[in-house]
Structures are given as C-alpha cells and as structure tokens.
Amino acid sequence: MRKLIIILLALLAAIGAAAAYLILTTPKTAQPLRFPLTESHRQLLARVPASADTFALIPSAALLHHKLLANPVTRDPVLQWTHEHELPRPWMLGGADLAVWKSGKVTSYAVRLDSFRALFVRAWLLMSSNADARWDGSTLIMHEPAPSAPATVDDVLRLAAALPEGDLLVVQREGGRGAFPPIARPAVTSVRVAPSEITLVSRAASDDITQQREIRPRFPRNAMLSAAFAAPPRILGDFNRLIGADIDALVDDGGSMALYDVDGGTFLPRPKGVIAVPADDRARQQMKTVEAVAALVGETRDTGDQILVSFDRSSMGLYIEDEMVPATWPATQWAMRVDPQRLVPVLRRAGDSTGLRIAAPRIHRAARDLRRWIDVLQHADAVEAAASVAGGVEELRVRVSSK
C-alpha cells in the first residue's frame, strides 16, 4: 500500500511538473514579426514546396490563436476552421512557429516544436488523431500530399522588407489567385491582430512609376459603402447602365461616391447614393450633361465646395446630414469604407442577380470578389481600405474594426 501511494504521488508530481512546464513555457506575449525575416523563420519557410501558390508564416502560433479568439470579428471563423481541421491543440504548441501553405485545394502545415512538447504531439497523433502527418526531426509536417522540392522565396521576401511588423506574414505567388488582396501578384501581406481591430498591409511590384496625385478622403459615416478615387474606375461604365446616365465625364478628374441602399426589387438592382466631385468650372459644366436625368429621379446640388448628384429622392438628404469621418490613410489610387453588416446581404443578392450579370458584368464580378473576402467580416463595425502606388510598388492598407 505504501509503495502504491508513493508511486501515485510520484506520478502526480510528474504530471504537475509537466503541466507547470507547459503553462510557464506558453508565451503570454511575443515579439512581432519583423522584416527582413530572421534566419530561423527563413529556415521554416524553406519547407514550403515550389507547388504552393499561397503560404503564411505564423510566429508563436498558439498566441495568435488566442488573439484571434479575443477579437469578435475573427472568433467564429477561427472556431469553425479548428473544428473542421484536425490540428494539435494550442497548449501543445507553446511558442512554436508555424508555416502554412496551400497547393490547389490542400492546406498543409509545418510546426517546429521543442522536444518535450513533441512527446505530447506524438502521443496525440497515436491516440486521438488520424491526421496525415510525418516528422522531420522536431518539425511536424501535416497534410502534405507528397514531399516536393522547396520553393525559392527570396524574390517575394524582398517585397516584404518594407512591410510593418505584424503577427503573421501571408504570401501569394504569381499563380496565387483570390479576391484579397486586390493587387498584382506576387503579393506579400503583414497582418496585425488586436482585440478591437485587425490591420493588413499588402505590397506588390508595379510597372507604374509616374508621380501620383494624393487624395485625402472623408467618408460619410452612415453610408453602407463609400469610396473615393483619383481617376474614374472602369466599373463606372456599368454603373451608368444602372442609373441611366453617363457620369464618366463628371468624375474624370476623380471624386467620390456614397452608397446608402440598393433597390433589389427590379431586374436590374438600382443603387441609391450620392456622387460627389470637387466644385470647379469644369465640374459645373459637366454637371449639365446629367442634370436633366437626375432631376427626373433625384437631384443635384452645388455646395460651393462640391458638386453633388443623386439619382434617387432620399440619398441627398442623408448625405448632407451625415457626419464625415476622415480616412485613416491618404491614397493615390482609391480609398474605401464599408459597413459589412449592411453590405454583406446586399453583396449576396447582387452576386445572385441574373440581370446584373448580363447588363453590368464588371459590377457583378466586383460584388462577388468583395463578398468572397468580406463575407467572414460581417460582424465587423467597419472596414477601411486605401490603395496607393509609389516608387514602383503597389500598396494596400486595410483596417477591420470591431465594436
């Protein structure tokens, strides 16, 4: 009996010591990912195969998991992802770094563990998991279809050298397609996660080296979508069909638009909002080309600072009374602010609209692309983005804020 008690006490002491080690060695804070990357992080990325079109580097993966759960915007998507994918629990990882990559439809992982935690993960793989995994020293590699030649990442990491520090790095190669970021490929993105906001900064090489005009927009707070642009986007060609007027010349030198609602009860959904351009002689002259059409269904107004045009009866009053919010960043191409909770349902209907697909294919594609990356952000309070080109580099900044 005495021997049994001693054995039990020793066993409990060993379990307590192991638990204490796991708790004490799981970081509560971590140094952000800085650029250029350390040699240790580059070695982990060396495991990403050449076949991967998208990959990410996550230092202190368990800590990032905790940050994502603390943010109300990312909590549900992360819980769903961990439910659908068989992965080691965060407490098994401690301060381990993680590389994730996607080849086709398969997502693979490489996590570098300390020797003690590797024992727990090996036990988990044996007793509680049917995951496809193999070991390369102390690095666990999961769901890799077949080992292949490692990729050369030096070319894309050069773009990352000027990125701000973050909690993870995402890289999309030349063949990596997706709605986000809506810039050229290859693209690199630094992501920073805080309890009330997520900030993303993406960069890609650009052939445009001309001097760009900077815009510093102010957004109407209550619009579901507001955008400012230095030059009229091609999507306005489709917008002309929806409102029945040619506004290209009016916004030829740039301007802004605010969307308050969309009438989806017709074959072609009709946007309800306001177009604004700086007031000058050219703008006043161009306004005459749309004034007659606007007067039939909406109104125009010259405030002295701006020329305002609305093609419905309600939006002008909303815009005039709205509070204007300064943009977080200046831009040289375009800037945007959206209310995901109101916009996501509209994007879903627009993506399913046959009339929009036929008569306004650019808007239809834009709605589908925007829905693809903003759909999981529908619980955010606001999403703000700014796109610029300078010195042969295209940069996109995005801030997702929660209540």
**Residue 262 burial (10 A CB sphere; 0-12, 13-18, 19+):** buried
pTM, to two decimals: 0.85
The pLDDT, as a whole number, for residue 17 is: 44
Query: How long, in residues, is the chain?
Result: 403
Q: How far is CA 282 from CA 22, 214, 229, 278, 365, in A?
A: 69, 20, 18, 10, 32
Query: Are the C-beta atoms of residues 268 and 241 closer than 8 Å to each other?
Result: yes
Instruction: Give me the residues paired with residue 100 across strands.
Output: 56, 109
Query: Are the C-beta atoms of residues 203 and 159 closer than 8 Å to each other?
Result: yes
Residue written as token pair 């707070």: 221
| Digit-coded pLDDT (tens) for 264-320 | 666 677 788 898 988 888 888 878 777 777 777 788 898 988 989 888 889 999 999
**Residue 7 burial (10 A CB sphere; 0-12, 13-18, 19+):** exposed
Query: Are the C-beta atoms of residues 49 and 73 closer than 8 Å to each other?
Result: no
Identify residue 149 by its one-letter amino acid code: A
CB within 8 A of 118, min separation 6: which ones?
135, 138, 140
Neighbouring C-beta atoms of residue 330, cutoff 10 Å: 12
Identify residue 73 by its one-letter amino acid code: V
Residue numbers of the chain with a pLDDT score lower than 50:
8-20
Q: In whole angstroms, give the CA distance from residue 93 to residue 112.
A: 9
| Digit-coded pLDDT (tens) for 17-57 | 444 455 555 666 667 888 888 888 888 888 888 888 889 99
The pLDDT, as a whole number, for residue 10 is: 46
